[in-house]
A and B are shown apart, each in its own frame.
Chain A
Amino acid sequence: MTDTGEDMRSYARPQTLDEAIGLLAQGQHRILAGGTDLYPSAGMQLDGDVLDLTAIPALSGVTHGAGLRIGACTTWTAIAEADLPPALRCLQQAARQVGGRQVQNAGTIGGNLCNASPAADGVPPLLALDAVVELSGPGGTRQVPLTHFLTGPRQTLRATDEVLTAVILPDAALYGQSSFEKLGARAYLVISIAMVAARIQVTNGQITKAAIAVGACSGVAQRLPAAEAALTGAPVAEAAARVRAADVATALSPIDDVRASASYRIVAATELVRRAVTGALA
């Protein structure tokens, strides 16, 4: 019943960011920012020292300043419950669809990004919100657009001695309205076959800006520049009709996997884009 005979590793739960960065500089750590993604994938291979970031007050919460700053250890529940502008509705909708409530209470936005699953629920809304991530390490702090940060399935630009400290949404991205759509074989608690976030700005009945991102259809979630261009300038009433499968497909390289075939994903994603756009305009 006991785990005797195993080498005991250390567990650190620093209260400050400096302390955390100092520990990272001393050697390899598995970073815990809620643990909901890490533990299932690492499972019993959770070897090595563990660095738990969830006790650092500065990493939690949403603050307004130049843009909007979401601490990396802000839980999905906290995001869903926060009072945020309508442009962030897609992010709040996604927050309520990350697993069950148990997972939303523990899982964090930073953990979701660093884990870099192709089907991470948080990514499409953040792409549609032009998110920038803030990384802190021994050499200081740097900001990287989310589109660059995610380099591939389970791969990011985070250096091993860096901590993702915050997600920053620039002022310009806080306008308009947004919507999130997720498709799965079951209404809740699924890793998605396809999901879409759309943020739309409208002036005088015409779309002036469209930001659309699709997840689970490619190794990394993608913005859809062609679809966005087709929507820009469109009258609101014509928006859904402007969404074409070809514009969706060009940006994606959908994967055939256990959850769905590539051709189905394109069809489904196109329809979800229409619905997300319509939802954002509602």
Chain B
Amino acid sequence: MQISLDINGSLRDVYLDPRTTLLDALRSHLGLTGTKKGCDHGQCGACTVLLDGRRVNACLTLACMAQGAKVTTIEGLGSSDALSPLQAQFLNHDGFQCGFCTPGQICSATAMLEELAAGWPSHASTDLEGPFPLSHAEIAERMSGNLCRCAAYSNIVDAIQNAAKDGDAK
């Protein structure tokens, strides 16, 4: 079927089987290979993209279901010339080793910082009323849906903390 997706600010028309996942649509039909296929089971987070600013696993989302939503992928967050604050901090803090989980980590962290700005509680928050200091434990819980087999977690957490600080400073 013919569907139309709003991806990174531009409308893309694509013809595909309605059972095609958003992940396969991005990678195989739209040439956006920054979103990675890690497990295809919604467990590793490598395929994380943003739907209307909220993070979802693209492998668990049918492309059809994303119609009408604004889809943001790693390619839409920034470019080498204009890195997003999180991208810049992942670079500064070596927030990766092999890099395969990195696009998903950055998309997920982007949404996470938005969630924090909106003041949503997490399971690790001791106080359900907020405010939420961005501790390592807090980040770890909020980022639990993104696995890194190289276990570059320390640097990932550092990158996110610093990006959050930058955001607060603004």
Contact, chains A and B (beta carbon distance below 8 A): yes
| Contact present for A40 and B55 (CB under 8 Å) | no
Decide: A103 and B145 in contact? CB cutoff 8 A: yes
Q: What are the residues of chain B within 8 A of A103 when measuring CB–CB?
A: 42, 57, 60, 145
A101 near B18 with CB under 8 A, answer no
Q: Mark out the residues of chain A between 42 and 95 whose CB falls within 8 Å of any chain B CB in the assembled complex.
A: 43, 46-47, 50, 52, 54, 77, 80-81, 93
Complex Cα gap A5–B48 (Å): 29
Number of interface residues of A (CB under 8 A): 36
Beyond A36-B42, A100-B146, A189-B144, is A50–B60 a contact (Cβ under 8 Å)?
no
Contacts of A102 in B (CB 8 A): 42, 45, 48, 55-57, 60, 108, 145
Q: In the assembled complex, which residues on chain B have CB atoms less than 8 Å from the CB atom of A257?
A: none
Residues from chain B with a CB closer than 8 A to the CB of A10 are 1, 18
**Contact of B65 with A by CB under 8 A:** yes
Name the CB-closest residue of B to A38: B60
CB distance from B15 to the nearest CB of A (A): 9
Q: Is B154 an interface residue (CB 8 A)?
A: no
Q: Closest residue to A46 on the B side, CB-wise? A: B19
Contact A106 B61, beta carbon cutoff 8 Å: yes
Q: Which residues from chain B contact A46 at a C-beta distance below 8 Å?
A: 19
Is B37 on the interface with A (CB-CB < 8 A)?
no
Shortest beta-carbon distance from B4 to chain A in Å: 13
Could you say which interface size class chain B belongs to? 35 or more
Asked whether A35 and B145 contact (CB < 8 A) given A96-B122, A101-B108, the answer is: no
Is A258 interfacial (CB 8 A cutoff)?
Answer: no
A8 x B61 contact (CB < 8 A): no
Identify which of residues 117-170 in chain B touch chain A, using a CB-to-CB cut-off of 8 Å: 120-123, 140-147
**What 1/0 flags go to A92-127 for Cβ under 8 Å of B?**
010011011111011000000000000000000000
Residue B41 interfacial (CB < 8 Å): yes
The answer on a CB contact under 8 Å between A100 and B144 is: yes
| Chain B residues closer than 8 Å to A100, beta-carbon distance | 45, 108, 143-146
Q: Could you list some 17 contacts between A and B, CB below 8 A?
A: A1-B29, A3-B20, A10-B18, A11-B64, A13-B64, A39-B21, A52-B65, A77-B54, A81-B120, A96-B121, A99-B42, A100-B144, A105-B55, A106-B57, A187-B141, A188-B140, A188-B144
Contact surface of A with B, Cβ cutoff 8 Å: 1-3, 6, 8-11, 13, 32, 35-36, 39-40, 43, 46-47, 50, 52, 54, 77, 80-81, 93, 96-97, 99-103, 105-106, 187-189
Chain B interface (Cβ < 8 Å from any Cβ of A)? 1, 16-21, 28-29, 40-43, 45, 48, 51, 54-57, 59-62, 64-65, 67, 108, 111-112, 115, 120-123, 140-147
